[in-house]
Amino acid sequence: MSLRVSMVGRQADDTVVRALRERLPDSVVLEIDGATGAEILIHGTPTETDLDSAGLKAVIIPYAGVPGPTRARLAARPHIALHNLHHNAAPTAEMAVALLLAAAKRIVPLDAALRKGDWSPRYDEPSEMLLDGAHLIVLGFGQIGARVAAAAVALGMRVTAVRTRPRGDEPVTTIAADRLDEALPTADALVLTLPLTEATEGLLDARRLAQLKDGCCIVNVGRGPLIDEEALHTELASGRLRAGLDVWYRYPENKDAAASTAPSRFEFGALENVVLSPHRAGHCMRIEELRADHLARMLSAAARDEPMPNRVNVEMGY
């Protein structure tokens, strides 16, 4: 028996398709753009027509996160399983650690000064954080959060992970989300790897940011609106906190606007205690190879009539 798979959208470029076909068993028939009658559809934003195709059993979003319209359409079709792709977990976790280190050690302003021949920061009073022995709270303990926690432990940090339902077998201390307010005042650093849902939007508001101790370092590789935009800028502009941010509140509408779109209505770029990154945490030179690897593993499992990994709870959004 063959398994018919249709791949649609910007991820269905020649590089990915070629790499994916090399990795698939002969029993998987991969069709590109607009094929009907497939059992599995690889598409981030399928239309109503796509989802009503006869025989469709599952949709794979070929990247992390679930677009709102896709989630709503699948919620109305509970007979179709929804799956995510977590091929970017390793590079995203690496960027989170890089942002943490860059913000904690003031890498960007030190680099900028020395490029001008200015050695004076060498003689300033130390303002770099010591991460060894510091307490890191990881908000979200999925594949990205677990990697960040492991790296932090290797750096000598004490790690507490916050997740919706702690299992009790995690390699670091784990607490339920309803204990977040209790934990925040103890954090020396905070890394957000959460998806954006109704429950997580604005999770760090002005009240919760005020609970953080002076000097706490915030890293966000989840989604910008997890943190209240104005409250975050206010705290950072005061100099009380520091941050490494890869996700934002404004994005270019198209490539033509890419060189002239501010990431926020506030001037985060004017702050020396913030490291800015243009939502590239999931990028690396091997990213399309990783995408093909992960898709091939999922589709090979389906071809063997085994459950595919990374099933999304449509109600919860992840």
In contact, 191 and 96? CB cutoff 8 Å: yes
Whether 318 is covered by a domain: the verdict is: no
Buried b (16+ CB within 10 A) or exposed e, 252-269: eeeeeeeeeeebbebebe
Q: How does pLDDT run across 34-83, given as a tens digit for each residue?
A: 657 899 999 999 999 999 998 999 999 999 889 999 999 999 999 999 99
The 10s digit of each residue's pLDDT in 280-289 is: 999 999 999 9
Closest-CA residue to 98 (of 269, 236, 223, 284): 284
Q: Which pLDDT score, from 0 to 100, does residue 74 have?
A: 96
Q: Quick check: 187 and 137 in contact, CB under 8 A?
A: yes
Q: What are the φ and ψ backbone dihedral angles of 198, each rounded to 5 degrees? A: -60, -35
CB 249 within 8 A of CB 224: yes
CATH number for the domain including 216?
A: 3.40.50.720
pLDDT tens digits, 190-215: 999 999 999 999 999 999 999 999 99
CA distances from 143 to 59, 140, 223, 317 (A): 20, 9, 16, 16
- Are residues 16 and 110 located together in one domain of the fold? no
Average pLDDT, the chain: 95
Tell me what pLDDT residue 35 has: 59
Q: Give tens-digit pLDDT for 263-276.
A: 999 999 999 999 99
**What domain range is 56 assigned to?**
3-87+285-303
* 79 and 94 together in one domain: no
Instruction: Check residue 112 and give its pLDDT.
Output: 97
DSSP, residue by residue, 20-86 = HHHHS-TTEEEEESS--S-SEEE-SS--HHHHTSTT--EEE-SSSS--HHHHHHHHT-TTSEEE---
Picking from 61, 8, 14, 65, the residue whose alpha carbon sits closest to that of residue 38 is 8
Residues 295 and 213 placed together within one structural domain of the fold: no
Do 204 and 268 share a domain, yes or no?
yes
pLDDT over 80 at 1, yes or no: no
Q: Could you tell me the pTM of the whole model?
A: 0.94
Q: Are residues 50 and 98 in the same domain?
A: no
Average pLDDT over residues 217-233: 98
Q: How confident is the model at residue 13 (pLDDT cuts 50, 70, 90)?
A: confident
Shared domain check, 241 and 124: yes
pLDDT in tens, 299-316: 999 999 999 999 999 998
- Amino acid identity of 192? L
How confident is the model over 98-133, as pLDDT tens digits? 999 999 999 999 999 999 999 999 999 999 999 999
- Residue 12 is predicted with a pLDDT of 83
pLDDT class of 15 with cuts at 50, 70, 90? confident
**Judgement on whether residues 204 and 236 belong to the same structural domain of the protein:** yes
pLDDT score recorded for residue 11: 81
